[in-house]
Chains A and B, each alone.
Chain A
Amino acid sequence: MSDSREDSSEPVTVLRTPISLDYAYSAGQSASRFLRAIAEGKLLGQRCPVDGRVYFPSRGACPQHGVAFGEETVALPDKGTLVTFSVVRVPSENIPLDLPYVTANVLLDGSDTILMHVLDAKPEEVRMGMRVQAVWKPKEEWTTSTANIMYFRPIDEPDADYETYKEHI
């Protein structure tokens, strides 16, 4: 472009217009409560006042009924059931596992919504209904981030009955 600047007969074929905007993002009251809790190693969900379903992570309102959740929270364990999974063979950033690795939809015990995460397991051993538990970063590295959980891994418990998670596939 600099070569042609002097020559006005040369058509402009490329125009670079860099765009960036800065934001001071607010997670909101409900997500902030969730993030402050996970900084202490706690997992918070919220219960819909209409049908009692537990949503994880906690959010401002029930997306099904459009009602606000209010202040009540539900503490959830870091154990759950793998309901579906996929084997990943292409690398991506910020995943602390070697290829191939497994992405898993995990239904935490007591929750009615799934959490998408990664699983540290041999792909050929992964199956629906498998019981899994979170592996956390060292406590001193915890922040207000879901990245405090590095990944899930299988635990030595009998597989969950299909009937208990079939709604969440």
Chain B
Amino acid sequence: MREVAVVGFTQSPSVRREPDRNEVEVLIPVIHALREQTGLSSADFDFICSGSSDYLAGQSFAFVSGLDAVGAWPPVCESHVEMDGAWALYEAWVKIQMGYADVALVYGFGKPSMGDLPLTMALQLDPYSVMPLWPDAISIAGLQARHCLESGSMSERDMAERAVRDRAHAKDNVNAQVKGDFTVDGILADPYLANPLRKHDCAPISDGASAVILAAGDRASELCDRPAWIRGIEHVCEPMDLGVRDLGRSRSTEIAAEKAGVRSDKVDVAELSAPFTHQEILVERALGLGDSTTINPSGGALAGNPIMAVGLSRIGECATRIWSGGADRTVAHATSGPCLQQNLVCVLEGS
């Protein structure tokens, strides 16, 4: 295996609505800032891979215009996934492993404010038996949360504690959308949004973009004083049918964590992109995280949720903590699909 590291990361602030800028105009300053951060130009990228969703933009092939932010002439070697940018990063990592690239640019962007996100997400469901019922994403997550509560594996208080923790952490994150000092009792006094989920159990809807640069071997060491080396990366998908899955645990995260080697050493920092508090608990357990790990120092997805970029940003947030020396070993998590259907786990190390 080639040694590959995250050597650059930039992100836009997560905001509820970008009123004027289109997706590309949100992305452009993010890519430009990344060029400045690393001193690289488009000619230095052997491979470019992006993650976005045409369903958010409401038009087909919307991702093509994203290349305006990169510059695509002379022709570039690029690819796109209709997934979170974390999966674009995985593709770029594979490309580097295969020897086709040494330096890769990865970005993700989304502007869900143009549509009704919980309903748009319904299109991910089984198109024959479930999707025609138009169950929105919050209601689907609510059913999963109800299952977790009824099985006795967690309480509403446990869930509220995650919201309090993440949004307190997010006070130090200039890019976070929801932050501040909340209390568990205060949250539990709020009305239900989709029983048993309260507003604070749900990640915000965010417009935003982020970008990462991967580099191999010596090239990574040239570009970064302390590269964040990818020592394990894996993604696993569960079946589409919600009825055949165990929704009370995240089996795919467990398998991905095992294959990525999460438990082979201590984890200083973990960044999770679970968009609901009960899912955050499921992911923490699946990764086997304990008290020695700082979870979501940036606030995670519950503080800022730029869909299609939020998972990639978790990898970036982990990398910045390696670069600064604040952490030696970190774990980033990204998810896709309803009720944590597909999960990606990435282990980053400083040495």
Contact = CB atoms under 8 A, between A and B. Distances in A.
Indicate whether A and B interact: yes
Interface string B93-121: 00000000000000000010111100110
B68 A61 contact: yes
Interface in B18-73: 18-22, 24-25, 28-29, 31-32, 42, 55, 58, 67-73
B217 interface: no
Main secondary structure of the interface of A (DSSP, over half): loop
A20 B114 CA distance: 14
Nearest to A18: B132
A21 B68 contact: no
A162 interface: no
A74 to B, nearest CB: 18
Contacts of B143: none
A30 B22 CA distance: 9
A166 interface: no
B191 interface: no
Contacts of A25: 58, 114
Contacts of A92: none
B68 A59 contact: yes
A61 to B, nearest CB: 4
Nearest to A25: B114
Interface in A24-67: 24-32, 59-67
B113 to A, nearest CB: 8
Contact of B20 (A17, A29, A59, A62): A29
A19 B123 contact: yes
Main secondary structure of the interface of B (DSSP, over half): helix
B104 to A, nearest CB: 16
Interface residues of A, number: 25
A15 interface: yes
A68 interface: yes
B40 to A, nearest CB: 12
B288 interface: no
Contacts of B326: none
B131 interface: yes
Interface string B119-148: 110010001100110000000000000000
Q: Which 4 pairs show the lowest CB-CB distances between chains A and B?
A: A66-B71, A28-B22, A23-B58, A64-B73
Given A15-B132, A25-B114, A26-B20, 16 more contacts: A21-B115, A21-B123, A22-B115, A26-B21, A26-B22, A26-B111, A28-B21, A28-B22, A28-B24, A60-B22, A63-B68, A65-B42, A66-B42, A66-B67, A66-B68, A68-B32
